[in-house]
Structure 1
Amino acid sequence: MERTAPRPPPAVDPLRYRWVILGVATFTQAATAFFVQGIGAMGVHLQRDLDISTAQLGLLLSAAQFAPLLGFLVAGELLDRYNERWIVGTGATVVAAGLLLGSTAPGYASLLLVLLLVGAGYSTIQPGGTKSVASWFDPSRRGFAMGIRQAGLPLGAALSSAALPFLAGATSWRATLLAGGLVALLGAAVFMVFYRRPPHVTVPEDGPHLSLGAQLAARFGMVREPSMRKVLLSGLSLISVQCGVGILTVLYLYEKASLEAGAATLVLVASLGAGVAGRIVLAAWSDRVASRYTCVMTCMIAVIAGMAVLMTPLGREPVPASLTFVWLGFFGLGWYGPWLAYLTESAPPGKVGFALGMVMAVNQIAIVLVPPTLGLLKDLTGSYTPAWAVLTALTLATLAATAPAVAAVVSRQGLRRRPPYS
């Protein structure tokens, strides 16, 4: 009896399907971060229902950020070896399972453990989604695609900050974890159903002749490359600014610019909205310039200018201060799109996943340490100026250390434009 050969899966048009991949990666990241992004907005409900202090509330905010310190490195290594579909899909499922389990948590301690589990699962989402988008988009549109994907995070933060407090007030804090778990589960399902690798992508191997130590040395050795050092330094400085704006905006406007708490919160929402626009606009601009790092340097210069305003009497006037925080939102959050595109293009071939994990792990150190450090600095001095001064000095030092190398590269290449969009 003659056997019929199985039909190959239907081919997809890469130029069209890449937009499906972009939408899937953006949705999955927003879905898995949905609950964590809304914790701060639920502070009143959590403190009331769990009877916890402000410090304990802050620990909840940080709990989901600890696991990625190591998790990003592990996820990056796995992404260089296996299909993104299973790495990201599994991580998103872990996030969903943790939140669904947390909806039955009896109290604060168990909720803290749940968020540690959620952080472990989320470690695969950021580098995995970034690598998946980078592999589907050529350089002519890679920055624009990265900007759209990264805009999903501040947009998701705004949506969760509006939805979760309402749900907590109408029902209970456990219902918010249930909702967050269901949203994350949907994100996992969407990614595993729709994601596939582009036809030209293969998984490189280090070869059996390399020991584990030699493989790790080869991976961490990429830090010696000038482009990777620029990525590390600029990421640390700008993620610190991003954390500072996130934690201090409302307090500064309330205490120093004489805005009501509600109005100050609206300014923060406007700043986040500006960050959404910045991540798309600046990333699209990076597709058109000779070096993407030029866009990153522009963000550093703009951040320094904004911080300078806050350290003058003009920064204590309601309107100028509010406009300054919107400015800082555009550049202080918008840098991430072109920065990620520059990172993926600077990483050695076959090591993009590990490079993403390594650099994001370094950034995670700042995400964990900067908010309490800036808060302590303000408490000790009674002023916000030292916090703005530290962020300004850090950004200035990074700009001074990386700008000469960029200028040399641009002068050798000439100010040529990138090829038009495909």
Structure 2
Amino acid sequence: MRWMMLSLGMAAQGAGCVFMYGLPFLLPAFRAEFGLTLAQAGILVGAPSAGMLFTLIAWGWVADRFGERLAMTAGLVMAAAFLAGAAATGDPVVLAVLLALAGAGGAAANAASGRVVLGWFPKERRGVAMGFRQTATPLGVAVAGAVTPRFATVQGALLAMAVICAVTAVAVLAFVRDPARGASGPASRTASPYRDAGLWRVHGASALLVVPQFATAAFAVTYLVSARGWDVASAGQLVAGAQFLGAAGRLACGRWSDAVGSRVRPMRQLALVNGVVMVLLAASVQTSWGLPLMIAALVISMSGNGLAFTAVSELAGSAWAGRALGAQNTAQNIVSAVTPGVVGALIAGTGFGVAFALAGALALVAAVATPSEPTPAAVTV
């Protein structure tokens, strides 16, 4: 039963990722059909992520208060409805608003699917389960890449995304069962876990670790083309392959954390390795070591994401996990929105070495910021 619940949670999160990350494939179509500049089309692509930022914590509260099944179903139905509306409009301003609202609805799965892992899996298996859950993002991107180019128009692609969300919502409504939460039920309230600095430190450390992840993912192709002389197609294939290795790394890190009985210890150690590799990459951008170090940095920076989410859910406890996971997603999304612009400006002004060195330094700060082991009472759910 628990693996079925995990699969449905992954499907819900993956359905949201299909339109969140499928829109970049529509950039040429947006420009051709609506007569937009690249910057204007970019606003459409970023609209769902902007909408998500405003509702992640609210959806976490809904999951905490009323259960995962209701939150995921309602969010996906909203996303499907707004995507269908977006497919019907010819006004780019209305389209941007509807895409933002679709993102606001799709955010429900980010918080609620994490609660499914917390509730259905025992502590000794929760790390690998969360690792599987975190692979929903690269799998959603893969589905988007396979499905979106098959449609000749924006309308057709958006309708396909709406159907994916609607079908997934029906499956969640029909088959998801909220995990038991004890005698007090889903409406129970406990003292805020944010009175403990440990949860704040996990949020902060994981937000810092977004920087090396996006510094490599966003600029690896540019580095390989401009600094190493690769062609764009080959560089893109390498980065895509690294995404799958990163997904496998998330599973491996989850199993590692289950084996050692800790989330924060592997998180701290991986952040330290991440920082060292980024600094070595910064020192080697013009040497033959640049390529293997870039691949290592890409994979390592993606691999530990599930550790932080598992730590947050356990530190928050059952009554607060949805809101805490919403806050975790919010912090990471804010940093991920800012990082490409800042890193891009650094690369343009000073070169790849300084930008990668800064990302490595922040990973080392994250290793220091990661808290020590929580008290047993803090992780009882």
- TM-score above 0.5: yes
Q: Does 1:254 align with 2:225?
A: yes
Asked if 2 retains the 8 angstrom alpha-carbon contact of 1:35 and 1:176, the reply is no
Task: Quote the residue 2:125 is aligned against.
Answer: 141
Does the alignment pair 1:301 with 2:269?
no
The 8 Å contact of residues 81 and 162 in structure 2, kept in 1 or not, is answered as yes
The yes-or-no answer on 1:175 pairing with 2:160 is: no
Residue 205 (str. 1) matches residue 188 (str. 2):
yes
The offset of 1:36, in angstroms, is 1.9
Whole-Å separation in 1 of the counterparts to 2:362 and 2:144: 31
CA distance in 1, matches of 2:356, 2:219: 10
User: d(CA) in 1 for partners of 2:34 and 2:272?
Assistant: 43
Written as runs of structure 1 = structure 2, the 5 A alignment for 1:238-253 is 238-253=209-224
Superposition deviation, residue 349 in structure 1: 4.7
1:382 deviates by 5.4
* Cα distance in 2 between the residues matched to 1:366 and 1:96: 27
Give the counterpart letter for 1:179 in structure 2.
Answer: A
Candidates 363, 367, 370, aligned match of 1:399: 367
Decide whether aligned partners of structure 1 residues 92 and 325 sit closer, same or farther in structure 2, where only a CA change above 3 A counts: farther
Distance 1:285 1:367, change over 3 A: same
Q: Name the SS for the 2:167 alignment partner.
A: helix
Using the alignment, how far apart are the partners of 2:237 and 2:263 within structure 1? Answer: 32
Q: Deviations over 1:250-284 (max 9, x none)?
A: 11211111110001100110111111101111111
Question: Which one of the candidate residues 262, 281, 285 is aligned to 1:315?
Answer: 285
* Superposition deviation, residue 157 in structure 1: 0.9
1:56 corresponding residue in structure 2: 40
Select between 274-283 and 366-375 the one with higher mean Cα deviation: 366-375
Distance 1:163 1:69 in 2: 26
Residue 364 of structure 1: how far off its partner (Å) = 2.2
Answer yes or no: is 1:39 the counterpart of 2:10: no
Q: Contact between 1:102 and 1:110, CA under 8 Å: does it hold in 2? A: yes
**Structure 1 position 110, deviation (Å):** 2.4
Aligned with 1:125: secondary structure? Answer: helix
Query: What is aligned with 1:28?
Result: 12
Distance in 2 between the 1:224 and 1:362 partners?
A: 18
Residue pairs, 1:137-286, within 5 angstroms? 137-164=121-148, 166-168=149-151, 171-201=152-182, 202-206=185-189, 219=192, 222-286=193-257
Partner of 2:302: 333
Q: 3-state SS of the aligned residue for 2:366?
A: helix
Relative to structure 1, the CA distance from residue 34 to residue 88 in structure 2 (aligned partners, 3 Å threshold; closer, same or farther) is same
Q: Is the 8 A contact 1:270 1:326 kept in 2?
A: no
Opposite residue 56 of structure 2, the aligned amino acid is F
What residue is the counterpart of 1:83 in the other structure?
67
Structure 2 equivalent of residue 388 of structure 1: 356
Distance 1:251 1:54, change over 3 A: farther
| Offset, 1:92 | 0.7
**Cα pair distance change 1:133/1:230, threshold 3 Å:** same
* Partner Cα distance (1:112, 1:322) in 2: 38
Q: Deviations over 1:21-49 (max 9, x none)?
A: 01111111111220221222333333333
Deviation of 1:247 (Å): 1.7
TM-score for both structures, normalised by structure 2: 0.91
Query: Structure 2 counterpart of 1:111, which letter?
Result: L
Shift in Å, 1:362: 1.9
SS in 2 for 1:184: helix
**Counterpart of 1:345?**
314
Contact 1:102 1:114 in 2 (8 A): yes
Provide closer, same or farther for how the CA distance between residues 81 and 114 of structure 1 changes in structure 2, counting only shifts above 3 A: same
Q: How far off is 1:310 after superposition? A: 2.7
> After the TM superposition, which of the residue ranges 223-232 and 188-197 deviates more from structure 2?
223-232
CA change 1:193–1:282 in 2 (3 A) is: same
Q: Give the alignment partner of residue 112 of structure 2, picking from 109, 113, 128.
A: 128
Query: 2:44–2:99: 8 Å Cα contact kept in structure 1?
Result: yes
- Name the count of aligned residue pairs: 374
- 2:38 and 2:273 map into 1 onto residues whose CA distance is 33
**Separation (CA, whole Å) in 2 of partners of 1:382 and 1:121:** 40
**In structure 1, C-alpha distance between the alignment counterparts of 2:155 and 2:89, rounded to whole Å:** 8
CA contact (8 A) 2:269 2:367 kept: no
- Residues 195, 176 of structure 1: alpha-carbon distance in 2 compared, 3 angstrom cutoff: same
CA contact (8 A) 1:253 1:321 kept: no
Instruction: Give the match for residue 329 of structure 2.
Output: 360
* Secondary structure of residue in 1 paired with 2:89: coil
| RMSD of aligned Cα (Å) | 2.3
Gaps of 5+ in 1: 1-16, 207-214, 414-422
Q: 1:40 to 1:306 in 2, by over 3 A?
A: farther
Q: Quick one: structure 1 residues 348 and 31, their matched pair in 2 at CA, closer, same or farther if it must change by over 3 Å?
A: closer
AA of the residue aligned to 1:246: A
Deviations 1:204-225 (A, max 9, x none): 434xxxxxxxx9xx54xx3341
Larger radius of gyration: 1
Aligned residue identity for 1:342: A
The answer (yes or no) to whether the contact 1:85–1:191 under 8 Å persists in 2 is yes
Question: Would the aligned equivalents of 1:268 and 1:325 in 2 still touch at CA under 8 Å?
Answer: no
Deviation at 1:200, TM superposition (A): 4.8
